[in-house]
Amino acid sequence: MTDACILTLPQIEAMAFSALTAAGTSEANARPLARAVAAAERDGIASHGLMYVPTYCSHVACGKVDGRAEPALSRPRPGTVRVDAKTGFAHPAIDLGFSALTASARESGIACLAVHNSYNCGALGYHVERLAEAGLVGLGFTNSPASIAPAGGTKAVFGTNPFALSVPGETGPTITIDQSASVVAKSEVMKRARRGEAIPDGWALDPNGQPTTDPDAALKGTMAPLGGYKGVGLALLTEVMAAALTGAMLGVDASPFSGTEGGPPRTGQFFLAISPDATSGGAFAERIARIVDVVEEQEGARLPGSGRHAARRKADADGIAVDAQIVEAVRKLASGSA
């Protein structure tokens, strides 16, 4: 990053909040989204930070997302929470469901939250870490517009479809897995396309199913699945969990998260919250501590999530470096001069 602004977490949140509300998002919907944007910057996940705010704002303006939607919660069965995001942002819909989800998981040992008529939920690990902070094992799935072809095919059917797991430790989340079914998140290709930069070999395929380093060709083609056909299996798993089980739109039928065409994507999120005390006979903390110890005693080895946790500590100590051009663009949106 050549020119950067050093910002605090509250400054980033306030900037994102002002831009979102200036675009027509209600304060109730803007606050949880702005909080997640700031958290992404703190964790070093710039692709879901302030960089995405102009897209959020343009999608409010064009109607791809309803910035003033009021999500609705229902309880169809014991241990089951369902939220209709009403084509609004995913974050307030997830927020609405999490209180009931955590209470139900503590009471029953396990509970689920199904969100439909939703939108891009940003970094999925952010949401499951909140469950781990509450002492629960959190498992999440979110589907996205089609960008991965099935094994043997060239036409996209499944989204990059991330899943995430966060495991509680003595002082909060100790292990966090957050990965897509593709080699890399599509937002990383979009970021390089905006900058006019080539992408590495192995990230994506062009419309003819051939490997490409051209991000524009990649965006017209498909994302490379992680581990070949096994990545396609992960994408299908998430499609079942986040779309079929929630009643959300399948990735192949959803409008893109990028651009302004196509109306609301109506995708979904699915979360499982598990109380470890209910299932482990009291052995959970010991088993997790053992996993952590045997990994960390190896020189150079690291646990999933350790990178974001290290970035978080550095940000808290030194401030958060954000590309100056992105900061300027969001400030213009916040002032209404963009």
Integer angstrom CA distances of residue 4 from 49, 59, 138 = 14, 26, 34
- Indicate if 116 belongs to the active site: no
Do the beta carbons of residue 73 and residue 82 sit within 8 Å? yes
Cα dihedral sign, 157-46-39-286: positive
H/E segment holding residue 189: helix 186-195
Question: Distance between CA atoms of 277 and 106, rounded to whole angstroms?
Answer: 9
Judged on CB neighbours under 10 Å (0-12, 13-18, 19+), 256 is middle
CA nearest 180: which of 127, 119, 116, 223? 223
Of 13, 41, 129, 188, the active-site residue reads 188
Question: Distance between CA atoms of 327 and 281, rounded to whole angstroms?
Answer: 50
- Indicate if 309 belongs to the active site: no
Of 47, 58, 108, 306, the active-site residue reads 47
Do the beta carbons of residue 238 and residue 142 sit within 8 Å? yes
Residue type, 53: V
Of 13, 18, 41, 48, the active-site residue reads 48
Question: Distance between CA atoms of 205 and 148, rounded to whole angstroms?
Answer: 9
Beta bridge partners of 269: 115, 142
- Indicate if 59 belongs to the active site: no
Q: Which amino acids are annotated catalytic?
A: 47-48, 188
